[in-house]
Amino acid sequence: MKIFTAEQIRHWDRFTISNEPVSSIQLMERASEALAGWISENCKNHKKIVIFCGKGNNGGDGLAVARMLYMKGFDVDVFVRNTKGKFSQEASVNLKRLRDFSGISVREFKEVEQYNFDNRTVIIDALFGTGLSRPLEGENKELINLLNNKNAIKISIDIPSGLSVDEIFQEDPVIFKADYTLSFQCWKKTFLHPETGKYAGKVIIFNINLHPEYLETETTEYFIIDEKIIDGIFKMRQDFSHKGTYGKVTIAGGSYGKIGAAVLATRSALKTGAGLTFTLAPECGYEILQTSCPEAMFTKSGNEYIENFEPENSMIYGVGPGLGTHEKTEKGLLNFLKEYHDPLVLDADALNMISNDHKNLKLIPERSVITPHPKEFERLFGSTENSFDRLELARKKAVELNILIVLKDHHTQIVTPDGNVFYNITGNSGLAKGGSGDILTGVLASLMAQGYSEENACILGVWLHGRAADLAAEKHSKESMLPTDVINAFGNVFEELNRRVAVKL
């Protein structure tokens, strides 16, 4: 799914109106019907609806939704700034339609402090849409502060008021804190970053049938990883195949006290389909790895930490889990990178050792994958003000070094060497535990060994990791799920994928 800017979304609306037999007010009606249907279905126990409407088209959506919810049996009150003020053409039409219903009161914002919000009230924000270009001020800011302090379910239409579609406001803005955001047609960039996405709550995207030609032809550098992309990447396992068909992986990791990280990466490589899996680890991990991962072959290097990395052709390496940063390990890693020139996966301590000297970045083989969390990224490339700036720096470095960067976050971003960004929307906060990143290293190395391109391995691997985490959370809860539970859920994800892809063959 493509992610568009606010300007592109407006162009999409206009393109639809120009190329279909549909007017702007009819398009608004189409969108509002989808909103009202979701609200009526999901707010059955909250019969009191209070809708705050601006004077633009976002307010027009809110006014139309008010009429439709009233007709579905809800008690509806509407607040506007000034009932006699100037509204957009579409909002004016819906305000006029609303006045035909005597049971819906239309009040002014100045009356809100006297209004009785009880615990069964649903507050709907239809104040500002995607056109907002600066932080809220004055009365608008005061109103949002007041609504945020109410103990009620809060829903935003299209985007929470006070939030920009494309950027983060640098000051400390006041933004409507939604429990749900009901948005149209495509994700907005600010839903996907931690500083801004926290205001959107759970995001629901409605397909309101904007013209498909615009979606196909309009270009962007930002994408959501959806089922269509995944189904186009995933390759079903062939009957006439053997272990050599699916490649060889070496997980290089582990040190005294950190062998568990190598176990997790090794097990995830095994569980995601690698033909042959090896673990390069110090001797102190031998019994642990051979017992916990009997399907993998053990290669010794050092006693308590890895000292040497011997490159082998036709091998995909996943380097870093539990590796430690001993000076002999660092020397061995840098010597290895000077000799090895094929794409590999670098994570954790491998990245920390590379970051000790920025000249080491040039040793990373082209088309390799690095998987830093925010602190590791900072050590490699420098600090940034926020996640938006971090992403733009990652795009610059991915192009400059010709590598793929997997920026681990709540919505992990995959940055390609041509500057494209893929946001992942699977996964949950249950992954906020040590060991989750080690699993991802094993998954990515395994998929690359099986012949997926580096870009497709990242897209499929990050999605697969998150989807398995979602299944683990359903079974064990986010609090109690373990990285091993995620590994054990990979089989169920592959079953889903195989069923879905087989239907399309």
pLDDT tens for 298-320 read 999 999 999 999 899 899 999 99
One-letter amino acid for residue 162 of the chain = G
Are residue 410 and residue 344 in the same domain, yes or no? yes
Counted domains in the chain: 2
Are residue 277 and residue 188 in the same domain, yes or no? no
Are residue 151 and residue 238 in the same domain, yes or no? no
Which CATH number characterizes residue 494's domain?
A: 3.40.1190.20
CA-derived radius of gyration, the chain = 26
Are residue 190 and residue 279 in the same domain, yes or no? no
Are residue 189 and residue 237 in the same domain, yes or no? no
Beta strands in 38-163 (DSSP E): 48-53, 75-80, 105-108, 121-126, 153-157
Residue 409 lies in a domain: yes
Are residue 110 and residue 12 in the same domain, yes or no? yes
Query: 187 falls in which pLDDT band (50, 70, 90)?
Result: very high
The proportion of the chain whose per-residue pLDDT surpasses 70, expressed as a percent, equals 100
Q: Which of 186, 220, 254 is the last residue of a domain?
A: 220
Residue 174 lies in a domain: yes
Q: Give mean pLDDT, residues 90-104.
A: 91
Query: 431 falls in which pLDDT band (50, 70, 90)?
Result: very high
Position 505 scores a pLDDT of 66
- Among the ranges given (82-86, 249-253, 356-360, 447-451), the one the predictor scored with the smallest mean pLDDT: 82-86
Residue 454 lies in a domain: yes
Q: Give mean pLDDT, residues 141-156.
A: 96
d(CA 439, CA 452): 18
Q: Which of 157, 191, 220 is the last residue of a domain?
A: 220
**Order of strands, sheet of 421-423, starting from the edge strand that comes earlier in the sequence:** 222-224, 421-423, 413-415, 404-407, 369-370, 345-346, 316-319, 248-252, 276-281, 297-300
Are residue 216 and residue 235 in the same domain, yes or no? no
Position 79 scores a pLDDT of 96
Q: Take residue 134 and report the two structure tokens written for it.
A: 């600066």
User: 331 lies in which domain range?
Assistant: 230-504
Are residue 111 and residue 48 in the same domain, yes or no? yes
Tens of pLDDT along 217-231?
999 999 999 999 999
Residue 79 lies in a domain: yes
Residue 1 lies in a domain: no
Tens of pLDDT along 375-394?
999 999 999 999 999 999 99
Residue 378 lies in a domain: yes
Query: 233 falls in which pLDDT band (50, 70, 90)?
Result: very high
Mean pLDDT of the chain: 96
Are residue 347 and residue 458 in the same domain, yes or no? yes
Position 385 scores a pLDDT of 94
d(CA 467, CA 486): 9
pTM for the whole thing? 0.96
Query: 99 falls in which pLDDT band (50, 70, 90)?
Result: confident
Pairing of strands 75-80, 105-108: parallel
Are residue 214 and residue 238 in the same domain, yes or no? no
Are residue 288 and residue 198 in the same domain, yes or no? no
Q: Which of 163, 192, 220 is the last residue of a domain?
A: 220
Residue 272 lies in a domain: yes
Overall residue count recorded for the chain in this entry: 505
Position 308 scores a pLDDT of 95
Q: Give mean pLDDT, residues 239-256.
A: 95
Q: Take residue 388 and report the two structure tokens written for it.
A: 């938006």
Q: Give mean pLDDT, residues 398-402.
A: 98
Are residue 169 and residue 290 in the same domain, yes or no? no
Residue 58 lies in a domain: yes
